């Protein structure tokens, strides 16, 4: 079985999972965090090199402030509690998103985790927090323009070089839980040629077997990157 180098996951359905059980939405996010930990472990066991998790989008600020604070609290909890696990499994924390728009204490937790794990050579977990694909492209173009005022023809390579993590290969596979067939502003640039896999299961119900099924399905896909298959 060919294991994708980079998998991105849109962890959707926490709210519906909770509501279907008569629980409040935040309970769904709490279960969603437990699932994220399970899937990080499973992905590392499968030998995935990069795993990008869409934890909070630039659009998620529109939610009720209680829910937003609760998710931010979970992010903090994840970053702290996972340090021991990261050490044991040599997992490196990375970040993508608009850092400036995050609360100061979350910024600090993220930076501390990145610093503490920077020399680990196992899987890299990219946390997409306050992330939007359009926002990432706009930030890239603005950074480029500020530093290269004389250049008027921006190339693909220029935009790529100023994205959040130019060293990380584009995702081979993007997984979305909870049945919606859209990418919701996730890895717009990087995901141009990613295979998409939609699972009907809500994120809190996801397990190692679901990740395995997604990887098996990926193995059946034929990736042509806009070309044609050789005869
Ligand atoms: C989508 O479900 C989920 C989110 C917006 C939050 C995801 C956050 C976590 C799982 C916790 C933080 C994780 C890490 C790895 C730090 P939804 O609320 O949109 O579900 P719904 O569509 O059913 O309402």
Find the mean pLDDT for residues 220-226: 86
Ligand 1 in contact with 29 (CB < 6 A)? yes
Q: If you measure from the C-alpha of residue 62 to the centroid of ligand 1, how many angstroms do you get, rounded to a whole number?
A: 14
pLDDT over 60 at 231, yes or no: no
Ligand 1 in contact with 32 (CB < 6 A)? yes
The pLDDT value recorded for residue 214 is 98
Considering only CA atoms, which residue is closest to atom 24 of ligand 1?
15
Backbone angles phi, psi at 198, to 5 degrees: -110, 130
pLDDT over 80 at 223, yes or no: no
pLDDT (tens digit per residue) in 179-196: 999 999 999 999 999 999
pLDDT over 60 at 128, yes or no: yes
User: What is the value of pTM for the model shown?
Assistant: 0.96
Ligand 1 in contact with 187 (CB < 6 A)? no
Nearest-atom number in ligand 1 for the CA of 78 is 16
The full 3-state SS of 9-70, as one line of letters, equals: EECCCHHHHHHHCCCCHHHHHHHHHHHHHHHHHHHHHHCCCEEEEEEEECCHHHCCHHHHHH
DSSP string, 130-170: EE-HHHHHHHHHHHHHHH-TT-----HHHHHHTSS-TTSPP
pLDDT (tens digit per residue) in 22-36: 999 999 999 999 999
Find the mean pLDDT for residues 34-39: 97
Find the mean pLDDT for residues 50-57: 98
Closest CA to 38 of 119, 111, 125, 116: 125
The pLDDT value recorded for residue 230 is 62
Ligand 1 in contact with 53 (CB < 6 A)? yes
The pLDDT value recorded for residue 171 is 98
Element at 76 (helix H, strand E):
helix 65-89
pLDDT (tens digit per residue) in 135-167: 999 999 999 999 998 878 999 999 999 999 999
Residue 191 — left, alpha, or beta (φ > 0 → left; ψ -120 to 50 → alpha)?
A: alpha
Ligand 1 in contact with 126 (CB < 6 A)? no
Residue 99 — left, alpha, or beta (φ > 0 → left; ψ -120 to 50 → alpha)?
A: alpha
The pLDDT value recorded for residue 222 is 81
Residue 34 CB coordination number (10 Å): 11
The pLDDT value recorded for residue 48 is 98
Q: If you measure from the C-alpha of residue 138 to the centroid of ligand 1, how many angstroms do you get, rounded to a whole number?
A: 24
The structural domains of the chain, with segments of one domain joined by +, span 6-219
Question: Active-site residue 60, yes or no?
Answer: yes
The pLDDT value recorded for residue 61 is 98
Find the mean pLDDT for residues 3-24: 98
Q: What is the mean pLDDT of the chain?
A: 96
- As assigned by CATH, the class of the 6-219 domain is alpha beta
The token pair that represents 60 in the structure block: 């998620």
Radius of gyration of the chain (CA): 18
Burial classification of residue 64, based on how many CB atoms lie within 10 Å of its CB (0-12 exposed, 13-18 middle, 19 or more buried): exposed
Start-to-end CA distance of the chain, whole Å, equals: 23
Token pair 């008027």 is found at 152
Considering only CA atoms, which residue is closest to atom 11 of ligand 1?
33
Instruction: Give helix 104-116 / helix 65-89 axis angle, nearest 10°.
Output: 10
Token pair 């190692």 is found at 208
């Amino acid at each position: 079985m060919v294991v994708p180098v980079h998998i991105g996951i849109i962890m959707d359905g926490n709210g519906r999972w909770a509501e279907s059980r008569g629980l409040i939405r935040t309970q769904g996010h709490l279960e969603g965090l437990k699932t994220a930990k399970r899937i990080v472990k499973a992905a590392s066991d499968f030998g995935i090199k990069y795993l990008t998790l869409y934890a909070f989008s630039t659009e998620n600020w529109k939610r009720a402030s209680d829910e937003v604070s609760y998710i931010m609290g979970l992010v903090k909890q994840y970053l702290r509690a996972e340090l021991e696990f990261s050490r044991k499994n040599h997992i490196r924390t990375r970040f993508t998103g608009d850092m400036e728009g995050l609360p100061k204490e979350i910024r600090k937790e993220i930076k501390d985790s990145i610093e503490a794990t920077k020399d680990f050579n196992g899987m890299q977990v990219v946390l997409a927090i306050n992330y939007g694909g359009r926002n990432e492209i706009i930030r890239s173009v603005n950074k480029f323009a500020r530093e290269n005022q004389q250049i008027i023809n921006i190339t693909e390579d220029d935009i790529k070089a100023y994205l959040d993590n130019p060293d990380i290969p584009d995702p081979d596979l993007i997984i979305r839980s909870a049945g919606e067939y859209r990418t919701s502003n996730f890895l717009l640039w990087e995901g141009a040629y990613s295979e998409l896999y939609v699972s009907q299961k809500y994120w809190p119900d996801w397990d190692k077997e679901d990740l395995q099924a997604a990887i098996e399905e990926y193995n059946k896909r034929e990736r042509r990157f806009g070309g044609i298959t050789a005869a």
